[in-house]
Amino acid sequence: MKTSMEVGGDYYDYFKDGNTVFVACGDATGHGLNAGMMVSITKAGLYGLQLNEPEKSLMQLNKAIKAIDLGKMRMSLNIVKFENSKVSLSSAGMPPAYLFNNQKNDTKEILVPGLPLGSIKNVDYDLINFEMNQGDVLVLISDGLPECDNEEGEMLDYDAVKNCIHDNGKKSSKEILDSLISLGNNWMNGKMNEDDITIVVIKKK
């Protein structure tokens, strides 16, 4: 995570329940103190929920955030459940995740439509199920990396992120992460990121 201000509005977390691992990655509206407050509310809410069904967790969290009534503040959030080779992903308004298939040497975009948390009171969220086998990689991002600008005001874009993951997918999770960080840094070329940048890399051993 690379924040654009002293208080960031992005969020990532890990939860473990026996052999099941849950990963959350989110992005609050804007940045600064208000966004940081939304992140704190989201984190507290997640710690109080049963996460076994990610889409239902998002529904419950959305109702709680809407009840607090933070005006125009919203929280985009992915929740991913990993159980052996089975993966379940639900999303509330987050950018696509990227899945690198090691055996096929293929990278695909996984976009799950859904409104950010706090938009309207009663929202249903979709769930996508897939498998990850040895050497496969799942990358979660906030929009800060693909939408970062260079000195000419040009946006990096999502294709560059996908291509970087594909080109480095057979490397370790740390090396994949470093390649994405370098991609953003080289594009901005010393320019400060105007939005928070968060990258989560999960590789199946």
**pLDDT of 32:** 74
Phi-psi region at 93: left, alpha or beta (left = phi > 0; alpha = psi -120 to 50): left
End-to-end CA distance of the chain: 24
Residue pair 204/136 in contact by the 8 Å Cβ criterion: yes
Q: Could you give the CA distance from residue 71 to residue 68 in angstroms, rounded to a whole number?
A: 9
Q: Domain count for the chain, please give it.
A: 1
More confident residue, 48 or 155: 155
Q: Tell me whether residue 56 is in a domain.
A: yes
Residue labelled with tokens 């090691």: 102
Domain assignment present for 140: yes
* Assigned domain for 92 exists: yes
Domain that holds residue 18: 10-203
Q: pTM surpassing 0.85?
A: yes
Whole-number average pLDDT of the chain: 94
Return the CATH number at 90: 3.60.40.10
- Helix intervals (H) in 21-79: 33-47, 54-68
H helices of 52-205, where? 54-68, 158-168, 173-188
Q: Is residue 2 part of a domain?
A: no
> Among all chains, which residue has been given the structure tokens 């109702």?
63
Interatomic CA distance for residues 54 and 37, integer angstroms: 22
Assigned domain for 159 exists:
yes
pLDDT digits (tens, 9 = 90+) for 55-111: 999 999 999 999 988 888 999 999 999 999 999 999 999 999 999 999 999 999 999
Q: What is the structure's pLDDT at 30? A: 72
Work out the pLDDT band at 117, boundaries 50, 70, 90.
Answer: very high
Q: Which residues lie below 8 Å from residue 141, measured CB to CB, with a gap of 6+?
A: 25, 95, 97, 98, 161, 180, 198, 199, 200
pLDDT digits (tens, 9 = 90+) for 147-185: 999 999 999 999 999 999 999 999 999 999 999 999 999
pLDDT of residue 36: 87
Q: Is residue 158 part of a domain?
A: yes
Residue 121 per-residue DSSP state: S
Q: Which two tokens stand for residue 192?
A: 């400060």
Q: Report yes or no on 141 lying in a domain.
A: yes
